[in-house]
């Protein structure tokens, strides 16, 4: 639980990556790292995701590559075997929470309601992904949730980009934000890694962090 908090606090911005071609994975990770973003969420939304995760773990050890869109214990096992440093889910799963604990991996489940926050809390989780942030009320909802859940912190994702990320990051219960805007799928497909580095640098500047690779 504390490990997930520290990971998000260091990250500030977590690129959410959907990689269709595993050959793009390593140059993509290197481009993001060059811009100062090293905590990367590789979503299990494409057939290439697991190969992409393995490639980044093997070839770009300075990156902290995690698995996203993890919805089952089997996916958690596959992510762990591939070397994922953390797991992210679109929703909360008790099965994934238990498997993440067994694997020793930080787990960031998605929540959108007070009931889901309480369900995650019953499993000792108080560092959560607020998803989908925009459709679920965004900043206003996060402010409202701070009242009944003063010890819960969030990484909102969904509808966040360079125009509003700083507003989310200014909230006391937000440690980091996630989004695809530093490396959108069209730029990845085009191999425009210079633009991705520039976007990563701009994103990192939102949290006042260094813009050089770690």
Active-site annotation, residues: 41, 129
Contact criterion met (CB below 8 Å) for 86 and 4:
yes
Rounded Cα–Cα distance for residues 140 and 144 (Å): 6
Q: Report residue 53 CA to chain centroid gap.
A: 14
Residue 67, CB-side half-sphere exposure with 13 Å CA sphere: 31
Rounded Cα–Cα distance for residues 31 and 145 (Å): 36
38-48 core/surface letters (b: 16 or more CB in 10 A; e: else): bbbbbbbebeb
Cα–Cα distances in Å, from 73 out to 77, 84, 88, 122, 166?
6, 14, 12, 18, 34
């Amino acid at each position: 639980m504390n490990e997930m908090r520290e990971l998000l606090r260091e990250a500030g911005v977590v690129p959410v990556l959907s990689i269709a071609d595993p050959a793009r994975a390593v140059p993509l990770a290197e481009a993001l790292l060059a811009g100062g973003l090293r905590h990367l969420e590789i979503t299990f939304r494409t057939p290439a995701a697991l190969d992409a995760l393995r490639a980044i773990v093997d070839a770009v050890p300075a990156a902290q590559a995690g698995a996203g869109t993890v919805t089952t214990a089997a996916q958690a096992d596959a992510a762990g075997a591939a070397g994922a440093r953390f797991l992210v889910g679109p929703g909360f799963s008790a099965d994934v929470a238990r498997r993440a604990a067994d694997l020793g991996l930080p787990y960031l489940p998605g929540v959108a309601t007070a009931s889901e926050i309480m369900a995650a809390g019953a499993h000792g989780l108080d560092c959560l992904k607020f998803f989908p942030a925009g459709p679920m009320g965004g900043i206003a909802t996060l402010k409202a949730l701070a009242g009944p859940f003063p010890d819960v912190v969030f990484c909102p994702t969904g509808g966040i980009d360079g125009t509003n990320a700083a507003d989310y990051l200014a909230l006391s219960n937000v440690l980091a934000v996630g989004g695809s805007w530093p490396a959108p799928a069209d730029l990845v497909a085009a191999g425009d890694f210079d633009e991705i580095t520039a976007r990563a640098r701009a994103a990192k500047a939102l949290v006042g962090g260094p813009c050089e690779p770690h």
